[in-house]
Chains A and B, each alone.
Chain A
């Protein structure tokens, strides 16, 4: 793909990169929201130069000696220049301090193995220790198959960390982007105190193909899309990408106040 004229993966239209940037990486022709690298997302949401990264040196191992996993990891690290599928740290959004986690589509489709679970848990524990709200921008195919049961247990670990936050009256805001499926949806994604989704994002537990195979029929139009989840009461709002920073800023502002603070 040309770096100067990237193509919309949906309608194939080429866009001049600076126009695309200006449009928050939304295709002006078909409205498709391009999947964003974690670093681009950080720039889009956080105040200038406010992001400080956590845990840059933690690395996945291959505890199961799973076929081709090492190669996949090496390739992802090289391509993304990230240590894993989530980038975490502290930042300010519209002046309000917060911790932030952003998942990256290029790193084994944002899947959660031991390191993603650990980085998310540390992020939440840092928020707890420093009385900060947490924001997580989610993009994930689910628990990472290549780390087997260890990946599954990250769902329990991260969910327990969210519980501790909430028990101490600290909020988590989750932003579900395309796609948010499997074990990540069924843990911290759906545990946001406010849950936001980007337009038309695929959000679900089971993948659409698995459901089709199981029930042996075609799925209805719009099934498992953000607007469908909003309609079924699973989300608080669907927010356009260009409004996201401002909505998060307002959420942080409201939650920074506690007029009735007896606990």
Chain B
């Protein structure tokens, strides 16, 4: 494909690929990548949110904690998983597992794939905003390496809440955005149907985020997308994780969290 042809891919087509129901989910990736995986449950405060999964196991020979949003592949599964939209207890479970990881010196791997934090009555009652804010706050100084990979939809605060990391990667057909294209279109043009124009305006593709220096790299998907070949997508992710971890494991904790602070400190565009 020539460069000009690549440019012609519309943002909305990438949005569709990012949401493709046949894409690998977090548990699929774990199945391919993590040995001896043990799933852990619950936030110890309210319940076990099935929209976020997490556990421990081995990446090659390195003990790791793995956390991710979990979507379903059909309606029944999606109802159980709430379409990957977490409630506060999901973010609190994730943080609990991350603090365990820090305690036992395990690196953390996060898979990001959510339309967003769940907008519901119970979510608000139990402090959706507080749960997200507190994760951002705590993750900024966790003294263990964190790598986040956007594997589908990076939907706003609900994605950010488990994605603070030392290195952030996106698969090539994924998105990460402050608002969904539909939500943006309904605010801008009072018409959710104009999502394709909104998707273009929001600059939400992996390439856009790399350009804005928000992410550290793009992991290429095979063929027409990850949905066509789960295993080789997982292989690509695995090799990125291993090489990145080998680099991060050498950095001592105070340097690591200082660099993490500086990474986010630099984000933003302005003049003065």
Residues of A within 8 A of B (CB): 55, 57-61, 63-64, 66-67, 114-115, 117-118, 121, 143-145, 147-157, 159-160, 162-164, 167, 182-183, 185-191, 204-207, 210-211, 214-215, 219-220, 223-224, 232-234
Besides the known contacts A55-B272, A147-B269, A153-B268, 4 further A-B residue pairs in the complex with CB atoms under 8 A apart? A160-B261, A191-B133, A215-B119, A219-B121
Q: Dominant SS at the A interface?
A: helix
Any chain A CB within 8 A of the CB of B123?
yes
Asked if B146 lies at the interface with its beta carbon under 8 angstroms from chain A, I say no
Inter-chain contacts of A59 with B (CB < 8 A): 270-272
30 A-B residue contacts at CB 8 Å? A61-B269, A64-B201, A66-B201, A67-B188, A143-B156, A144-B178, A148-B178, A149-B176, A150-B269, A152-B157, A157-B267, A160-B137, A160-B260, A163-B141, A183-B156, A185-B129, A186-B130, A187-B136, A190-B127, A190-B129, A190-B134, A191-B133, A191-B137, A204-B124, A205-B119, A205-B123, A205-B157, A206-B117, A206-B124, A232-B126
5 smallest CB-CB distances across A and B, nearest first, come from A206-B119, A114-B268, A160-B140, A159-B136, A185-B129
Bound Cα distance from A207 to B179, whole angstroms: 13
Q: Which residues of B contact A190 (CB under 8 A)?
A: 127, 129-130, 133-134
Interface presence of B187 (CB below 8 A): yes
* Residue contact A149 to B204, C-beta cutoff 8 Å: yes
User: Once the chains bind, are A183 and B272 in contact (CB under 8 Å)?
Assistant: no
**Contacting residues, chain B, for A163 (C-beta < 8 A):** 137-138, 140-141
Whether the Cβ atoms of A148 and B140 lie closer than 8 Å is no
Least CB distance from B94 to A in Å reads 15
The CA of A51 and the CA of B157, in the complex, are separated in Å by 33
Q: Tell me if A188 and B121 are in contact (CB < 8 A).
A: no
Give the Cβ gap from B159 to chain A, nearest Cβ, in Å.
8
Contacts A57-B272, A186-B157 given; indicate if A153 touches B133 (C-beta within 8 A): no
CB of B214 closer than 8 Å to a CB of A: yes
A198 to B261, alpha carbons, bound, how many Å? 32
**B32 at the A/B interface (Cβ < 8 Å)?**
no
Residues of chain B lying within 8 A (CB to CB) of residue A182: 157
Give Cα A219–Cα B120 distance, bound, in whole angstroms.
10
B residues near A144, Cβ cutoff 8 Å: 178
Which A residues touch B126, using CB under 8 A?
232
Beyond A59-B271, A59-B272, whether A160 also contacts B264 by CB under 8 A is yes
Interface contact B124-A191, CB-CB below 8 Å: no
* A residues less than 8 Å from B267 (CB atoms): 114, 150, 153-154, 156-157
User: Beyond A143-B178, A206-B128, A211-B120, is A150–B268 a contact (Cβ under 8 Å)?
Assistant: yes
Q: Which positions in B face A, CB cutoff 8 Å?
A: 117-121, 123-130, 132-134, 136-138, 140-141, 156-157, 160-161, 164, 176-179, 183-184, 187-188, 201-204, 208-209, 212, 214, 260-261, 264-265, 267-272
User: Smallest CB–CB gap between A45 and chain B, Å?
Assistant: 23
A223 to B187, CA, bound (A): 23
The answer to whether B120 and A234 touch across the interface, beta carbons within 8 angstroms, is: no
> Chain A's nearest CB lies how many Å from the CB of B124?
5
Q: Which residues of B contact A58 (CB under 8 A)?
A: 270-272
Across-interface contacts of B140 in A (CB, < 8 A): 156, 159-160, 163
Residues of B within 8 A of A162 (CB): 137
Please tell me if the beta carbons of B127 and A211 are within 8 angstroms of each other in the complex: no
A148 adjacent to B202 (CB under 8 Å): yes
Closest Cβ of chain B: how far from A53's Cβ, in Å? 14
Candidates A159, A183, A205, A232; contact of B178 at CB < 8 Å: A183
A12 to nearest B CB, angstroms? 26
**Residue contact A183 to B157, C-beta cutoff 8 Å:** yes
Instruction: Give CA–CA (A190, B130) in the complex, Å.
Output: 5
Q: What is the CB-to-nearest-CB distance from A7 to chain B, in angstroms, rounded to a whole number?
A: 27
Complex Cα gap A206–B133 (Å): 14
> With a CB–CB cut-off of 8 A, which chain B residues contact A121?
265
- 8 Å CB contact of B120 from A153, A164, A214: A214
A155 touches B202 (CB 8 A): no
Q: Write out the residue numbers on chain B whose beta carbons fall within 8 Å of the beta carbon of A149.
A: 176-178, 202-204, 208-209, 212, 214
**CA distance in complex: A14, B22 (Å):** 60
A145 adjacent to B120 (CB under 8 Å): no
Q: Are A159 and B133 in contact (CB under 8 A)?
A: yes
- Hey, which chain B residues are within 8 Å of A207, CB to CB? 119
Complex alpha-carbon distance, A180 and B4, angstroms: 44
Nearest B-chain residue to A117, judged by Cβ: B268
